[in-house]
Amino acid sequence: MELHRSLLFSCLLLLLKGLCSPFNIDVKKFKVFRGSPEAQFGYKVLQHGSEGQKWMLVGAPWDGPASNRQGDVYRCIVEKEKNRTCTKVGIGETALQNVSRQITNMHFGMTLMDSGEEGFVACAPLWSQECGTSTFSTGICTKVDSTFQPTENIAPTAQRCSTYMDIVIVLDGSNSIYPWYEVQNFLRNILSKFFIGPDQIQVGVLQYAELAVHEWSLNDYQTSEEVLKAARNISRQEGRETRTAYAIHEACTEAFSSERGGREGATRLMLVVTDGESHDGEELPLALAECEKRNITRYAIAVLGHYMRRQQDPDSFISEIKYIASDPDEKYFFNVTDEAALNDIVDALGDRIFSLEGTYGYNESSFELEMSQIGFSAHILEDGILFGMVGAYDWNGAVLKESQHARIIPPREAFQKEFPVELKNHAAYLGYAVSSLKLRNGKRLYVAGAPRFKHKGKVILFTMSRKGNVTISQALTGDQIGSYFGSEVCPVDVNGDGVTDVLLVAAPMYLGAQHRETGRVYLYRLGQMLLTYNGTLHADKKPQDSRFGYSLAAVADLNHDGFNDVVVGAPLEDDHRGAVYVYHGHRLTILPNYKQRVASSAFPPGLRYFGRSVTGQMDLDGDDLVDLAIGAQGAAVVLRSRSIVQVNTSVEINPSSINVIQKNCQRNGKESTCISATVCFGVMSRSPGKWDTQFDIRYNMSLDDRKLSTRALFDENSQKLLQTWVQVNAGKVTCQTLDFHVIDTSDYLRPIGVTVRFVLDESDSGPVLDEKSATTIRKMVPFFKDCGNDNVCVTDLMLQARMDITGTRQKPYIIHQGRKKLAVDILLENQRENAYNTSLKVWFSKNLHFASLSVKGESQLKVECTAVSGSSRTCTIGYPVFQASAKVSLLLDFEFSCTTLLNRLHIKLTASSDSTEKNETLSDNTAHLSAFIRYAPEVFISSESTLNRYEVQPSRTTQWGSGPEFRTTFKIQYLGCYPLANLTANIHLPAAAYGRNTFLSVTQVIADNATCIIRNTTEATRSKYGVSPIHPQDLMHAERLNCSNSWCETATCHLPPLGCKAEITLAILRVIHDDFFAKAQFKSVKVTSEFVLEASDTSVLFLAESMQRRETILEVIQAKKIPLALWILISSILGGLLLLTLIIFILWKFGFFVRKTQEEKDEAEKKQEQ
């Protein structure tokens, strides 16, 4: 038996393991690729194929030294078994080598997308531009070809800085300028105001007098340090003439030329500093025309030091300088008193230069596209890329479409319908996630998430024209503040027809139970044009920080049912170790309950934030089955999917029924019925791919597995459970035959169940079982029945029953000590076909105990009874079959309960069988018996008294007129078995006659475990209405004193519950009052006391009159008076006097009356001293 239980337990464990194991994502044969956690290796993952090779691309956006987290992408080969290393692609360095200025901390690899044609796109959303004192994170993406070489940089929001200027300073170096170092100071100060760099300001300096000399050209120096160093080395040219027109012409035509570094599109500024009128003033119009032709803005500074020192009028000079300056003069013209004063206008000059139209953007408090962060989110379209511009328009966000045909940038007001102007400072982050939906009419709807809109989040569906006009079709809003609704969106084409069926929207910071960031993923079904809310995806119910929905991925068909699936990441689950959930698609939706949860605990320790990125669109390991790539912090994991097989199981039984009459074999030396069970497994593969189609199935076969009793055993192990295995092949049917035999049993009606349970053998490379395949198959093997051609037994049982007692409510049956049993005569008859497993069910009230059920007469029918409960029995009649037309008389005996007392007994009898019985004949299958009863307990009351007869002495005198105290004892004995409770003993004690003349009084009541109360004569009088107490003078005419002619005292005692052989004693102590009887005229009177036993529950107990009352009698007798003779009295007196005289004489004779003198005393004392 112990071995049997052990095998059964082991098999159940194996079975449960198979049934509860995960589905077809293999958590045993995985590959983990490690990288730097500081580089955020695993931030993004992408499956990629190029030139016949399969790769997993892993983004590491913080890759690089701490001073420059440039970021990069790593490629990992998955097919090789041992090589689990990844190599850096070097996209950041290669892609930006032609960009004029390298920006640090651009974070390449934050976004990875498959662009088709064996290429991909990697983005660095924090790629920035320095413009003046500001840094604008416009973002950049790079297209990479199949050879991992960058082919194109995409930076659609990158703009030329407002400080993209070419400035040429024209300095007057003639003899009149003095002192020169003041001019040098001015030059250095103004140069320090400029933001010099390749994409910002270039400066060239031309000094002139009679000739013009290019001190340096625009492209000579690229940094402020270089320019300032060169400025310190400029020396004055000197000359007698000031040829300003010539210098201006040279600057406009030569200094801004491309040969000297002039840049197309740059703002051109010329700053002229001179201290005197030009000697070639007539050529100024021609020179200025050249400047206008080249769109050169001119600032002119008139230094009046030479005029002031010579006290000359400078009006003509000032007029010429104003003519040189661009209009209006108040903006472009300056004059200073001398060379030293040049430094006073440096700040004002700088402000005017950078306040030019088109150059002031970096100081604005409102941003357009300068902080757009292109590449934070992106989505590949057929004709281009849809970018989210999360930082555009003051962080309200926007989208941008980049294609070969056009660049579509919606203006700020394009989204005002859903993002009102009054909320412009709320930073909605529109474009945090972007995607698109393909409708059935062939049109495409763009999707963009704004997780911070009104702090609850919003997702919009819209179309966009080539001119940037936006039409919003629908808006979805979050329902919880701070949930980040819309931070991830994922359209899913479930059935693969090219039309979007479902949109998933994540709110990873949704607060669930216990205020934990459990996260939530909303599911929307797509109709013709609009989305309909269809519930949420269900994750682990454990309250924990999870951020379920942090990553979403529509993956290829994992379970090979023809519908695409979804994987959801929850990187904070299990104390930030992370997990991912697999959801299966079905028809046009995603099933809300996850099919498999893959936790990081299934892999080597150390993985954290597992599930921060997910993807699964292709096979990576060469088995033609889709694999999953999952990112973690510092790691990326590849999980293979396993093939799926369908197993159709069948069981054939030979022979098809069990004939226990004609047995066909011998087992263990006994005749038995032998059966063969053939189990067949038909295997079909549901999966493509390269896998071993031969595998093992482990299964067990059990007989009557739901029954505790054993009716059949396998020949192989003599147990009702057999565990074995079989090797099968996909596309074939494999069978095995197992033999068992039926043992002697009483249950011949119910078929024997043959149950097969199986699991696929757990191997690293084997398939998994299709979830729709039944793993349990049950075949019922019936017994052969002798019930006609239809093999259906239709019976008609008739039941009659009669008790040997009767009792009604008005006249209940009294149960005495001598009669404690109840007999029921039963007649059971089968009037039709065989009745299998016939049983008689007996229910009886709790005041009865089942004693026996026996067959009356000479019938050989076997009857056995088993206890179902304390108040019911099931008895088998003629097991296994109560044959047609059979009749049996039964005697059913009960005993009355000694513990439960009820005023009524009930018995219900029902006959039934496993055969069929029609409803119209069921009415006589049940019999109801009942009777009202009362219990007569065996109570015996006895009494005794220490004084039964008392003689009153008329001449006797006692204190207070009282006689002796005596005791009357009452003893209650219970010999029955019924529990008795709520009994009360009332002892009525005569006490006083007319006028309250007391003749007996109670002094004490002594009781065993009982509580007694004495009521005095006044209380007794009130309770005994109609009593006429006898007068003491009339006592001569009374034989008795009792409560009918005397005032009585009553002792009421509440008795405790009485058990079998219980005994209680009550003692009454009383005193006789002699003075009453001394005054009364009587000869003899009997004082009669009465003991009465009462029961409060008379509905159950019956106390006979003989058991209730007991009397005690005290007979009081008046003593006879005897007269005394005179001579006797005189003789007695004389004798006494004579005796007294004799005593006195004797005492005198002995000196009793003689006293010693004082001398005799002194003499006696001296003798003692000597």
Cα angle for residues 412, 416, 420 (degrees, 5° grid): 115
Same domain, 896 and 1019: no
470 lies in some domain: no
Tell me: cis bond preceding 655? Omega within 30 of 0 counts.
Answer: yes
Number of Cβ within 10 Å of residue 189's Cβ equals: 18
Same domain? For 908 and 999 the reply is no
> Would you say residue 244 lies in a domain?
yes
Examine the pLDDT at 8 and tell me if it is beyond 60: no
Residue 937 sits at φ, ψ, to 5 deg, of: -75, 150
DSSP of 592-618, one letter per residue?
Answer: SB-SEEEEGGGS-TT--SBTSEEEEEE
Considering only residues 981 and 59, tell me which one the structure prediction assigns the higher pLDDT.
Answer: 59
Please give the share of the chain, as a percent, with pLDDT higher than 70: 90
Q: Is the pLDDT of residue 489 over 90?
A: yes
Look at residue 635 and tell me if it is in a domain: no
**Which of 59 and 1093 is assigned the larger pLDDT?**
59
Residues 931 and 947 in one domain: no
**Quick one: pLDDT at residue 834?**
83
Has residue 363 got a pLDDT over 70? no
Residue after which a domain boundary falls, among 781, 807, 833: 781
Question: What is the mean pLDDT of the segment spanning 621-644?
Answer: 92
* Residue 514 forms part of a structural domain: no
pLDDT in tens, 66-93: 888 889 999 998 876 666 789 999 887 7
Res 1047: pLDDT: 87
Q: Out of 516-530, 680-694, 771-785, which region has the weakest mean confidence (pLDDT)? A: 680-694
Q: Say which residue, 1116 or 51, is predicted with more confidence.
A: 1116
Question: How would residue 661 be classed by pLDDT, with cut points 50, 70 and 90?
Answer: low
Structural domains in the chain (count): 4
Query: What would the mean pLDDT of 207-213 be, rounded to a whole number?
Result: 92
Q: How far is CA 607 from CA 100, 380, 398, in A?
A: 40, 31, 36
Is residue 379 over pLDDT 90?
A: yes
CATH of the domain at 1092: 2.60.40.1530
Cβ-in-10-Å burial (0-12, 13-18, 19+) of 293 comes to exposed
Cα separation, 978 vs 900, whole angstroms:
8
pLDDT at 19 (0 to 100): 37
Among the ranges given (100-109, 449-458, 593-602, 645-654), the one the predictor scored with the smallest mean pLDDT: 100-109
1141 sits in which H/E element: helix 1126-1149
Residue 1113 has pLDDT above 80, yes or no: yes
Residues forming beta bridges with residue 753, ordered by sequence position: 780
- Cα gap 153→88, rounded to integer Å: 19
Q: Tell me: do 1026 and 907 sit in the same domain.
A: no
For range 546-574, the mean pLDDT = 95
* Judgement on whether residues 670 and 766 belong to the same structural domain of the protein: yes
- Cross-strand partners of 635: 34, 632
What residue has token string 């006879």?
Answer: 1120
* Same-domain status, 889 and 984: no
Of 886, 906, 935, the residue at which a domain comes to its end is 935
In this structure, are strands 212-216 and 201-208 parallel, antiparallel, or unpaired?
antiparallel
Residue 351: CATH number of its domain? 3.40.50.410
pLDDT of 1106 above 70: no
Supply the DSSP string of 59-83, one letter for each residue. EETT-S-TT---BEEEEEE-SSSS-
DSSP string, 294-310: TTEEEEEEEE-HHHHHH
Residue 1102, phi then psi, degrees to nearest 5: -130, 115
Q: Which residue range(s) make up the domain with 804? A: 797-935
Asked whether 343 and 334 are in contact (CB, 8 A), the reply is no
Q: What is the pLDDT of residue 1026?
A: 62
Query: Above 60 in pLDDT, residue 1?
Result: no
Do 952 and 1099 belong together in one domain?
A: yes
Query: Looking at the structure, do residues 810 and 911 belong to the same domain, yes or no?
Result: yes
Tell me, yes or no, whether 154 lies in a domain. no
In a domain, 623, yes or no: no
Token readout for 872 is 């019911």
Residue 1050 has pLDDT above 60, yes or no: yes
Q: Which of the residue ranges 85-89, 958-962, 1111-1115 would you say has the lowest mean pLDDT?
A: 958-962
Q: How far apart are CA 33 and CA 604, in angstroms?
A: 12
- Residue 895 sits in a domain of what CATH number? 2.60.40.1510
Q: What is the DSSP string of 418-430?
A: TS-GGGGGG---B
Final residue in a domain of this structure, among 1074, 1095, 1118: 1118
CA pair distance 383, 928, nearest whole angstrom: 88
Instruction: Tell me the pLDDT band of 782, cut-offs 50, 70 and 90.
Output: confident
Encode pLDDT of 590-611 as tens digits: 999 999 999 999 898 889 999 9
Chain segment 803-860, per-residue pLDDT in tens: 998 989 888 988 886 677 899 999 999 998 888 888 999 999 998 999 988 898 878 7
Q: What value does the mean pLDDT take over residues 972-985?
A: 82
pTM: 0.65
Residue 379 maps to a domain: no
CATH of the domain at 678: 2.60.40.1460
Closest CA to 50 of 161, 151, 132, 177: 151
* 776, 682: one domain: yes
Q: Are residues 926 and 945 in the same domain?
A: no
Is the domain of 974 the same as that of 994? yes
Q: Where are the beta strands (DSSP E) in 914-1046?
A: 926-935, 939-945, 949-952, 962-974, 983-993, 997-998, 1000-1007, 1011-1015, 1040-1041
Q: Are residues 717 and 850 in the same domain?
A: no
Mean pLDDT for 294-299 is 94
Residue 391 included in any domain? no
Say if residues 559 and 23 touch (Cβ distance below 8 Å): yes
Higher pLDDT, 117 or 557: 557
Tokens of residue 688, six digits: 């493509």
Regarding predicted confidence, which is higher, 634 or 1055?
634
Q: What is the mean pLDDT of the chain?
A: 86
User: Quick check: 730 pLDDT over 70?
Assistant: yes
Crossing angle of helices 346-353 and 180-192, rounded to 10°: 40
